[in-house]
């Protein structure tokens, strides 16, 4: 089939790659390449650490998505053979270090232990650690932490590196990538159109406008830091060996180490009136992070990025054909899990195009917030 993918965030890019791999003719149309939420995201592949009470239907998708990313990482060397320099999974941003989730005080740790019960029920392995054990694994953690859990299977990918890699592979495979805005899906060619335009979807005319997608922006401020080599002890390569998430008096914060001494600090989750970066949000992130990792005061702040996540009322994505017009497949609303769910979204969207008999879970139907459907 000829498939046009509208949007080139990580969802659109991976969907285009999967479709192209399956032999479809693919074109991508987008105002930019990975400039929205993908540009901000830390890229934690965290099906366990991001489990929240009351989000049962999401857990299964998150776990499937983590397996999809493992499969994608394993395919990177073969996929990148079309490039001048074939790449390893690490070159494309994948890292398999475990994730530590630290509690700042005893109430925070009690919350982590309660959550561990849910995480285990959802099939994840979670080890409970004392503060001393956590500091043995990550010696840069502050002396004031109260305890932690370790989640071996929660990994990370650098979304910018992955998007860059996939964009390059698409180009080398001859996938058309047109940089322009789309006003109306009906004006596009294609046997199928995948609408992966994030929060931009409702602003584009087309049959999906009959649906209430109920999307809303959930803004996130993310800081990028650089660790000066001089502050590392002899033999150390970084301040952290893996992702450290923390709960600091009930507030979540995360620190994701990158190759080349980068450190990503995130993220606020705001629905206030500020269009740009929140000074209070940045202050809170730095203060909370400094309680967990005191040496953060000695790092260089190299970038502050604010982007909107495409949120939905039930925190589940919107994936599926528009009822009555299956030419258009909606794929947006990935909220706080866009990077994790991207490989899953790509596979399931390609399954839809291929008419695969395995139905999508009803919980992600894009028409579920539309009144007539209720
Ligand atoms: N998944 C991390 C975030 O949304 O901040």
According to DSSP, residue 85 is labeled S
Quick one: the chain helix, strand, coil %, rounded to 5? 40, 25, 35
- Rounded to whole angstroms, how far apart are CA atoms 225 and 210? 44
- Rounded to whole angstroms, how far apart are CA atoms 288 and 59? 27
**What are φ and ψ of residue 138, in 5° steps?**
-130, 85
* CA-proximal residue: ligand 1, atom 2 (nearest): 336
- Rounded to whole angstroms, how far apart are CA atoms 301 and 183? 38
Instruction: Write down the pTM of the prediction.
Output: 0.97
Q: Over its length of 374 residues, how does the chain's per-residue pLDDT go in tens digits? A: 999 999 999 999 999 999 999 999 999 999 999 999 999 999 999 999 998 888 889 999 999 999 999 999 999 999 999 999 999 999 999 999 999 999 999 999 999 999 999 999 888 999 999 999 999 999 999 999 999 999 999 999 999 999 999 999 999 999 999 999 999 999 999 999 999 999 999 999 999 999 999 999 999 999 999 999 999 999 999 999 999 999 999 999 999 999 999 999 999 999 999 999 999 999 999 999 999 999 999 999 999 999 999 999 999 999 999 999 999 999 999 999 999 999 999 999 999 999 998 889 999 999 999 997 54
DSSP string, 266-331: E---B-SS-SS--HHHHHHHHHHHHHH-GGGGGSEEEEEEEEEEEE-TTS--EEEEETTEEEEEEE
Q: Which atom of ligand 1 sits closest to the CA of residue 340?
A: 1
pLDDT of residue 51: 84
Q: Are 257 and 243 in contact (CB under 8 A)?
A: yes
Q: Which atom of ligand 1 sits closest to the CA of residue 46?
A: 1
Instruction: State the DSSP H helix or E strand holding residue 165, giving kind and residue range, or none if neither.
Output: helix 159-173
- How far apart, in Å, are the Cα atoms of 264 and each of 11, 58, 70, 156, 224? 21, 25, 22, 11, 5
pLDDT of residue 34: 98
pLDDT of residue 49: 93
**Residue in 333, 336, 340 to alter for ligand 1 test, most ligand atoms within 8 A of Cβ:** 336
pLDDT of residue 374: 45
pLDDT of residue 301: 98
- Rounded to whole angstroms, how far apart are CA atoms 272 and 274? 6
How close is the Cα of 82 to the center of ligand 1, in Å? Answer: 32
Q: Which atom of ligand 1 sits closest to the CA of residue 338?
A: 1
DSSP string, 93-140: TEE---EEEEESSHHHHHHHHHHHHHHHHTT---EEEEHHHHHHHSTT
Fold of 99-152+217-311: D-Amino Acid Oxidase; Chain A, domain 2 (3.30.9)
How close is the Cα of 362 to the center of ligand 1, in Å? Answer: 24
pLDDT of residue 115: 94
Q: Hey, where are the domains in the chain?
A: 2-89+157-214+313-364, 99-152+217-311
Q: Are 224 and 263 in contact (CB under 8 A)?
A: yes
**Residue in 266, 285, 333 to alter for ligand 1 test, most ligand atoms within 8 A of Cβ:** 266
Q: Are 148 and 101 in contact (CB under 8 A)?
A: yes
CATH architecture observed for domain 2-89+157-214+313-364:
3-Layer(bba) Sandwich (3.50)
pLDDT of residue 276: 96
- Rounded to whole angstroms, how far apart are CA atoms 179 and 177? 7
Cα dihedral 305→290→232→254 (10° resolution) = -50
137 Rama sector, left if φ>0, alpha if ψ -120 to 50, beta otherwise: alpha
How close is the Cα of 159 to the center of ligand 1, in Å? Answer: 12
Q: Are 265 and 285 in contact (CB under 8 A)?
A: yes
How close is the Cα of 356 to the center of ligand 1, in Å? Answer: 31
Pocket, ligand 1, Cβ cutoff 6 A: 44, 50, 220, 266-267, 309, 336
**Residue in 36, 37, 50, 310 to alter for ligand 1 test, most ligand atoms within 8 A of Cβ:** 50
């Amino acid at each position: 089939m000829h498939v046009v993918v509208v949007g080139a965030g990580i969802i659109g890019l991976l969907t285009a790659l999967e479709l192209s791999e399956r032999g479809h003719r693919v074109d991508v149309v987008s105002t930019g390449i990975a400039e929205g939420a993908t540009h901000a995201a830390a890229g934690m592949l965290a099906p366990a650490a991001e489990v929240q009470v009351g989000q049962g239907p999401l857990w299964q998708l998150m776990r499937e998505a983590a397996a999809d990313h493992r499969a994608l990482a394993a395919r990177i060397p073969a996929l990148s053979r079309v490039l001048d320099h074939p790449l390893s999974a690490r070159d494309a941003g994948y890292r398999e270090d475990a994730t530590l989730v630290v509690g700042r005080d005893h109430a925070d740790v009690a919350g982590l232990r309660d959550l561990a019960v849910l995480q285990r029920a959802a099939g994840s392995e979670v080890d409970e650690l004392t503060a001393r054990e956590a500091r043995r694994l990550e010696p840069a953690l502050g002396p004031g932490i109260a305890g932690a859990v370790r989640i071996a299977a929660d990994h990370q990918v650098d979304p910018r590196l992955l998007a860059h890699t996939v964009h390059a592979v698409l180009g080398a495979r001859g996938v058309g990538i047109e940089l322009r805005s789309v006003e109306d899906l009906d004006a596009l060619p294609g046997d199928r159109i995948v609408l992966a335009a994030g929060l931009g979807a409702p602003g584009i005319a087309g049959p999906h406008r009959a649906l209430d997608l109920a999307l809303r922006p959930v803004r996130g401020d993310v800081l990028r830091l650089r660790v000066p080599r001089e502050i590392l002890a002899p033999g150390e390569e970084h301040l952290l060996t893996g992702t450290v998430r923390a709960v600091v008096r009930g507030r979540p914060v995360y620190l994701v180490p990158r190759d080349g001494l980068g450190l990503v600090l995130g993220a606020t989750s705001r629905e206030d009136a500020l269009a740009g970066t929140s000074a209070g949000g940045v202050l809170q992130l730095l203060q909370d992070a400094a309680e967990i990792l005191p040496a953060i005061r000695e790092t260089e702040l190299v970038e502050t990025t604010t982007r909107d996540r495409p949120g939905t009322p039930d925190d589940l994505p919107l994936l599926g054909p528009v009822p009555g017009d299956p030419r258009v497949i909606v794929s947006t609303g990935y909220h706080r899990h866009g990077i994790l769910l991207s490989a899953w979204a790509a596979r399931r969207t390609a399954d839809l195009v291929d008419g695969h008999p395995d139905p999508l879970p009803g919980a992600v139907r894009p028409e579920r917030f539309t009144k007539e459907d209720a």
